């Protein structure tokens, strides 16, 4: 698992079918062989396993890829979770904002620690605590403020690059307003309307290999994707390549998917990134011309790598 700063999104692969590669390759062979599925799986050599899996990617024979499942825990903003759930061939379970204030609670705990204050219990006490912290904000460095705000919010890269303190202060003010509303008797389900979309959420995501290889990763790893979901897609790929490298080493942005479908011998994403394999398609699906595709791919990779590395 790649450890990202708290103000950045994070991904953890929490479960998958250990025999997923074997199941997928055997399912592919079962479409042609008269033998029983279990017999095919038991006799599948490592060499044939690699061959069947690469052929699936190269030929676009996607249905066998649906027989293996991956479950992720994703921590991101509400902006990003709304993008995630647009992928319909997946399952989701999201932390309730109505019944849980997990990340706001962690934010409050950090402010308590910074102010050496007693733990607030009432909504009015939480509001007063945050107001006291806000008054001290001018004495707090941008990095310290970012670290504390990052307990409850995802902070956009553009804000970090600009070192925009006012943006961070606006987030704190929104939480003050939230607790003011709760303290006045407004129910959780209505008070949350005042919280920005950058508020953190946790969502459990289940996708099969076909959705990942053919849809989610190609769309969301692309340098044209919004930065947060692009970061999540690259983090997912890192987790997947560790779990099932013979499937996911060929996965990548749409330029990689289209190129592998067009060429005689498919290449891994790492080979495209290093320049070992060159692009032959005239243009990628985003209309980037052939001689610019490698630079575009590399740029998307580097931006995602910088994000999770915590470099602004």
pLDDT tens-place string over residues 101-144: 899 999 999 999 999 989 999 999 999 999 999 999 888 999 99
Q: Kindly state the tokens that stand for 249.
A: 């080493």
Q: What is the per-residue pLDDT for 12?
A: 96
| Residue recorded with tokens 């919280």 | 195
| Residue recorded with tokens 């013979």 | 246
Region of residue 116 (left: phi > 0; alpha: psi -120 to 50; beta: else): left
Q: What is the per-residue pLDDT for 311?
A: 39
Given a cut of 70, the residues of the chain with pLDDT beneath it are 1-3, 42, 306-312
Looking at the annotation, which residues are catalytic? 220
DSSP three-state, residue 306? helix
Q: What is the per-residue pLDDT for 310?
A: 45
**Cβ atoms of residues 11 and 80 within 8 Å:** no
The residues spanned by each domain of the chain are: 10-72+206-309, 102-194
| pTM to 2 decimal places | 0.92
Quote the strand ranges of the chain, DSSP E.
Answer: 10-16, 69-77, 90-94, 200-208
Q: What is the per-residue pLDDT for 59?
A: 85
**Cβ atoms of residues 248 and 255 within 8 Å:** no
Quote the strand ranges of 105-242, DSSP E.
Answer: 200-208
DSSP 214: I
d(CA 249, CA 241) in angstroms, rounded, equals: 6
Q: In what order do the strands lie in the sheet with 90-94?
A: 10-16, 69-77, 200-208, 90-94
| Residue recorded with tokens 């990340």 | 103
Spatial CB neighbours of 105, under 8 Å, sequence gap ≥ 6: none
d(CA 129, CA 284) in angstroms, rounded, equals: 52
């Amino acid at each position: 698992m790649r450890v990202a700063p708290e103000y950045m999104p994070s991904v953890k692969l929490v479960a998958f079918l250990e025999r997923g590669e074997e199941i997928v390759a055997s399912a592919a062979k079962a479409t042609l062989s008269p033998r029983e599925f279990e017999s095919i799986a038991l006799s599948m050599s490592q060499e044939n396993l690699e061959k069947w899996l690469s052929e699936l990617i190269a030929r676009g024979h996607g249905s066998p890829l649906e027989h293996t499942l991956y479950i992720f825990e994703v921590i991101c903003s509400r902006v990003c979770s709304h993008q995630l759930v647009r992928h319909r061939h997946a399952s989701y379970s999201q932390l309730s904002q109505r019944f849980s204030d997990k990340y706001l609670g962690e934010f409050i705990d950090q402010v308590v620690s910074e102010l050496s204050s007693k733990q607030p219990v009432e909504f009015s006490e939480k509001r007063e605590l945050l107001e006291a912290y806000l008054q001290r904000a001018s004495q707090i460095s941008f990095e310290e403020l970012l670290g504390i705000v990052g307990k409850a919010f995802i902070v956009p890269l553009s804000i970090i690059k600009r070192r925009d303190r006012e943006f961070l202060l606006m987030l704190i003010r929104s939480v003050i307003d939230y607790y003011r509303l709760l303290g006045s008797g407004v129910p959780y389900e209505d008070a949350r309307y005042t919280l920005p979309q950058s508020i953190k959420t946790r969502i459990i995501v289940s996708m099969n290999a076909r959705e990942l290889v053919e849809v989610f990763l190609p769309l969301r790893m692309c340098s044209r994707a919004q930065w947060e979901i692009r970061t999540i897609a690259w983090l997912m790929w890192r987790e997947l390549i560790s779990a099932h490298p013979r499937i996911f080493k060929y996965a990548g942005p749409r330029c990689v998917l289209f190129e592998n479908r067009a060429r005689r011998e498919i290449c891994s994403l790492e080979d495209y990134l290093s320049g070992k394999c060159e692009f032959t398609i005239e243009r990628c699906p985003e209309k980037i011309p052939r001689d610019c595709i490698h630079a575009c791919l590399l740029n998307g990779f580097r931006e995602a790598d910088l994000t999770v590395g915590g470099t602004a």
